[in-house]
Amino acid sequence: MNEHRLNRFDGSIYLTGFMASGKSTAGKKLSALLDKPFRDLDEEISIREHKSIRKIFEENGEAYFREAEWKYLLDLTRNFKGIVSLGGGALQSQAVVDHLKVNGLLVFLDTPLDEILNRVYRNTRRPIVFNDKGDRKSKETLYNELKTLYSNRIDFYRQAPVRIQTHTYSSNDEMVQALLQKIQQHV
Ligand code: S3P
C-alpha cells in the first residue's frame, strides 16, 4: 500500500452510514492505524450538552438534537483534522453532504438493514428504541421505522466517494484494512 499518500493527506475522514453500522469502531481503528486523532460526533454532542443522546431526545426533542448535531459538526469541520464518526442521521440535507465532501473524504459504511435491525434492537442506547412513554418498541414497529429512515437517507450515504460493504469481511480488523486501501485510492 502506498502509505505516503495517506500520510500526506491532511484533510479529515468522515465516516457515515446508518445506525449501528460500526462507524465508531472503524473510526477508532482507523485513527490508530493512521496515527490521526479521532472524534465521535455523538460523544462530542453529549459532552458539550452535558447529557446522553437519549436524554437530549427525551428532554429537548429531536429538532434540538439535529441543530446541535449540525452546529458541532460545523465546528469540527472548522477546527479539527482527523477521523470523525458521524451519527446515522447527520447527513440531513444535500447541504451537509456537500459541506463534508468539500472539507474532507466522506466514507460510507454500508451494512444490510436486517443486520442493523438486530443490532439496534439489542442495544438500548439509541432513542429510536423507545416510544414516547419510554417503553421499548416492538421489533416490528422498530423495523418499520428503521426501514423508512433508511430509505430517506440512503441517497445521501451513497454520495460518499468511498463505500465499503461491512458485512462481507470476517472481522472488523479485516474490514478496516480493506477500507484503508479504498481510502488510499481517493486521497
Ligand atoms: C441517530 C443515530 C445515532 C445518534 C442518534 C440519532 C439517527 O448515532 O446520532 O441516536 O438518527 O440515525 P449512531 O449512528 O452512532 O447510532
| Centroid of ligand 1 to alpha carbon of 8 (angstroms) | 31
Q: Judge if the beta carbon of residue 17 lies within 6 A of ligand 1.
A: no
Q: How confident is the model at residue 108 (pLDDT cuts 50, 70, 90)?
A: very high
For residue range 41-51, list pLDDT tens digits in order.
999 999 999 99
| Centroid of ligand 1 to alpha carbon of 169 (angstroms) | 23
Computed over its alpha carbons, how large is the radius of gyration of the chain?
16
Q: Judge if the beta carbon of residue 110 lies within 6 A of ligand 1.
A: no
* Overall average pLDDT of the 114-124 stretch: 93
Percent of the chain with pLDDT over 90: 89
Q: Judge if the beta carbon of residue 120 lies within 6 A of ligand 1.
A: no
Q: Judge if the beta carbon of residue 58 lies within 6 A of ligand 1.
A: no
Q: Does 3 score more than 80 pLDDT?
A: no
For residue 1, the model assigns a pLDDT of 46
Residue scoring higher pLDDT (11 or 108)? 108
Q: Judge if the beta carbon of residue 153 lies within 6 A of ligand 1.
A: no
Q: Whose CA is nearest to atom 8 of ligand 1?
A: 87
| Centroid of ligand 1 to alpha carbon of 86 (angstroms) | 8
Annotate the chain with three-state secondary structure: CCHHHHHHCCCEEEEECCCCCCHHHHHHHHHHHHCCCEEEHHHHHHHHHCCCHHHHHHHHCHHHHHHHHHHHHHHHHHHCCCEEECCCCCCCCHHHHHHHHHHEEEEEEECCHHHHHHHHHHCCCCHHHECCCCCECCHHHHHHHHHHHHHHHHHHHCCCCEEEEHHHCCCHHHHHHHHHHHHHCCC
Instruction: Tell me which of 1-15, 41-55, 133-147, 149-163 is least confident.
Output: 1-15
| Centroid of ligand 1 to alpha carbon of 7 (angstroms) | 30
